[in-house]
Amino acid sequence: MSSLATIQKNGNEMSTSKNATRRSNASLPSFSSWVEDLFESGMGTGFMSNFNTGMTLPAVNIKENAEEFFLEIAVPGMKKSDFDIDVDNKILSVSSERKEDNTTEEGNYTRREFGYASFKRTFTLPDSIESDHISAKYEDGILTVHLPKKEEAKEKPAKRINVS
């Protein structure tokens, strides 16, 4: 005697009969079609667009106070000489390109390791930045770009006006 009871699980109907179980498994996607669907979805596209390109974008914090802005860019493992920082037409560009090639020859074998990494971040500067006085320093894996504000853009302290 076959018992057939339909129950709800995660919004889908499930049957407890053996024949119904076989039929429901037939509608499950195969592993290869599941992988294809995964990479055709938005997640897969975004993942594959940056896969194996040697490009990663470092995290950036932007801080502001009354006098200036600071960009803090997390780029560990670099040297000061690895960075190119340019200002052109109110666009600040921070980029780096690093190539490594290590070859070791011992006895009858050669070991060669090489790598490539690069990034470029651009920022549109507001009119309030004094672009002639932008400076940068690199310390403990953080590149800090100092963007001072023009004198007229600096916040003035509150002022009380007496009525006469």
Domain at 71, CATH number: 2.60.40.790
My answer on whether 12 and 79 are in the same domain is no
CA distance 56 to 75: 10
My answer on whether 36 and 79 are in the same domain is no
CA distance 84 to 95: 5
My answer on whether 77 and 21 are in the same domain is no
Q: Flag whether 130 is in a domain.
A: yes
For range 101-114, the mean pLDDT: 81
Helix pair 31-40, 42-50: axis angle to 10 deg: 70
Q: Flag whether 46 is in a domain.
A: yes
My answer on whether 143 and 68 are in the same domain is yes
What pLDDT score was predicted for residue 2?
A: 42
My answer on whether 93 and 20 are in the same domain is no
My answer on whether 67 and 124 are in the same domain is yes
Q: Name the one residue in this structure whose structure tokens are 């129950």.
A: 7
At residue 8, does pLDDT exceed 60? Answer: no
- What is the pairing mode between strands 109-124 and 135-139? unpaired
Q: Name the one residue in this structure whose structure tokens are 């004198």.
A: 151
Question: Could you tell me the residue range of the domain that residue 141 belongs to?
Answer: 60-153
Q: Flag whether 55 is in a domain.
A: no
Could you tell me if 106 and 84 are in contact, meaning their C-beta atoms sit under 8 angstroms apart?
Answer: no
Q: Residues of the chain with pLDDT > 70: what percent?
A: 66
142-162 pLDDT tens trace: 999 999 998 887 777 888 989
